A and B are shown apart, each in its own frame.
Chain A
Amino acid sequence: MPMTALTGSRVRERRLQLGLRQADLARSAGISASYLNLIEHNRRRIGDEVLGRLARALKIEAQTLSAGAEWVLVEDLRAAAASGGDEQPELDRVEDFVGRFPGWARMLAAQHRRLGLLERTVTALNDRLTHDTHLSQALHEVLSAVSAVRSTAAILAETEDIDPDWRARFHANIHTDSERLAVGAEALVAYLDAAAEDEEQGLAAPQEEVEGWLAARGWHLAELEEPGGRALLEPELEGLASAAGRAMARDWILRAEADAAVMPLDAFRAAIRAEGDPLLVARRFGVGVLAVFRRMATLPGALAGLVICDGSGTLVFRKPPEGFLLPRFGAACPLWPLFEALAHPMSPVEAVIEPAARARRSYRARAFCEPRHPAGFSGPELREAGMLIEPAVPDPSFEPRPVGTSCRICPRAGCPARREPSILLEGS
């Protein structure tokens, strides 16, 4: 499923075009500024009524604002079709479908998202049953006690001429085993209760949770610009549903805090203006290039997108730039400069890329990979690569590199890097 610009982003874009402040727009649309902030970061659905008021205040057609949402719906349905197996719907008529049956289309997209969530839940539960040693130990303990009780009780019930000594022993055994059974059952119930709590909080991928939180914050954590600001974020982190999400958010915050400490906001902006090149900025501050990437992508109001992957190519951080779809699940397009950089640590890779979207837009991508050796010579090499993605100034004399989001939903025919057929090409 792709991530992309939504209605909220269009509202923000239009407001900035008009040079309005959030507070001004919120007042003329009759909503609170904090609600508008949530809307602009696509954290709240916009009802038709509020959309109308916003459109009037922005002097724009309501349809133009929501047209983006329709496009997202189309992409969601494509993704749904991608997971549909052999039952392939009429993909060439997907826009027609969205236009004529918007309600059905929204329901289908919502079901597709729900399906993804459920699949993750099943995987997580499966993992838990297979690998959870605590659960299998607790079950084993209960089963052992039940076995002993069952056998012993049957002996007592069925053996009429049982020797008094034996009988006394078996009575004592049943007594200890039933105590053990009670403790074991209690432990099991407590464990399953705790597990149910985890599930209620949803098994949305923790990474998505963290990214959703950062997106709602506009990707910039202003608190970290001041010493000791990290503590101020702690209450917000408690709002994240999963423990894994909170842990990942804390890791991100620690890094962002360190980045902010060595590259103070004003000095960093000045360095960017003077040098313009992340590598040179990194040298000026004596930091890694990825630190500069992170700082650039999370400046207040930064347009730049950023993806970071580990040595396996798994995307571990995704800030989508406007109009550029990033894969939400699964692997990305192998043609991204990110992966070239991953294969050549410490060598800068720059390319102008054009994602496969109807609105042909090109982006300037700069990628860099930094290896680490946390255990020195004897330990493994860990790689981390980042790619900064910024809107490019169109240059007709230069042919951008065609890239995609992920093979399954990529329409590029004859791509040499394709690893699986695209649903957008199948049957055509």
Chain B
Amino acid sequence: MTAHVLLIEDEPNIAEAIRFILMRDGLKVSTHSSGADAIEAVRSTQPDLLILDLMLPGMSGFDILSALRADPQTEDLPVLMLTAKGQVRDRAAAERAGVDAFMSKPFSNTEMLASVRALVPR
């Protein structure tokens, strides 16, 4: 079965690049660009991995993560969080909220692939 990745990222060009890399690697990718209804998107897509940007319009990635961890249906969902370089405090807060891995922007495509492969069950 093809693993399914949900990408929540408000920058369309970053989202497009990530989508392309992951699709080339044989993954199924859905994208979503708003924070406000992100939790609904996760529930309806039921992905195997969530890639979540920290700074989203509507709701921060941090709040989304906390909500997901509080719900038994999504508490074990692997989450890869995208942060900007230097957001040390935000990263510490996200770690406490139960993030599985981080990816700092600007990332290299190889790093991105390696992180995703490590988190997706194959």
Contacts and interface: CB of A to CB of B under 8 A. Distances in A.
A140 B55 contact: yes
Nearest to B84: A143
Contact of B109 (A139, A143, A155, A170): A155
A427 B18 CA distance: 66
Given A139-B84, A150-B106, A166 B13 contact: no
A147 B107 contact: yes
Report the interface size class on chain B: 10 to 19
A146 interface: yes
A177 B112 CA distance: 20
A147 B24 contact: no
Contact of B13 (A139, A158, A177): A177
B46 to A, nearest CB: 26
B110 to A, nearest CB: 8
Among B18, B20, B55, B107, max chain A CB count under 10 A is at: B20
Interface residues of A, number: 21
Contacts of B106: 143, 146-147, 149-151
B75 interface: no
Nearest to A161: B24
Interface in A142-179: 143-144, 146-152, 154-155, 158-159, 166, 169-170, 173, 176-177
B105 interface: yes
A144 B18 contact: no
Given A147-B107, A151-B109, A159-B24, A140 B84 contact: yes
Interface in B16-47: 16-18, 20-21, 24
B62 to A, nearest CB: 15
Interface string B81-122: 000110000000000000000000111110010000000000
Contact of A144 (B16, B21, B105, B108): B105
A146 B24 CA distance: 22
Contacts of B18: 151
Given A143-B84, A147-B105, A147-B107, A152 B17 contact: yes
Interface in A347-400: none
Contacts of B21: 151, 155
A173 B84 contact: no
Main secondary structure of the interface of A (DSSP, over half): helix
Nearest to B85: A143
Nearest to A150: B106
A173 B16 CA distance: 9
Contacts of B20: 155, 166, 170
Contacts of B55: 140
A150 B104 CA distance: 13
Which of B16, B17, B20 has the largest number of chain A CB atoms within 10 A?
A: B17
Contacts of A146: 105-106
A138 to B, nearest CB: 12
Contacts of A169: 16
A116 B70 CA distance: 49
Nearest to A144: B11
Contacts of A140: 55, 84
A367 B105 CA distance: 58
Nearest to A169: B16
B31 to A, nearest CB: 14
Given A139-B84, A154-B108, A155-B109, A148 B14 contact: yes
A172 to B, nearest CB: 9
B109 A158 contact: yes
Interface in A105-155: 139-140, 143-144, 146-152, 154-155
B109 A147 contact: no
Contact of A173 (B13, B105, B108, B112): B13
> 4 smallest A-B Cβ distances: which pairs?
A151-B17, A147-B105, A148-B13, A147-B106
29 contacts: A140-B55, A143-B84, A143-B105, A144-B84, A146-B105, A147-B11, A147-B14, A147-B105, A147-B106, A148-B13, A148-B17, A150-B107, A151-B14, A151-B17, A151-B21, A151-B106, A151-B107, A151-B109, A151-B112, A152-B16, A155-B17, A155-B20, A159-B24, A166-B20, A169-B16, A170-B16, A170-B17, A173-B16, A177-B13
Given A143-B105, A147-B105, 8 more contacts: A140-B55, A144-B105, A147-B14, A148-B11, A151-B21, A159-B24, A170-B16, A176-B13
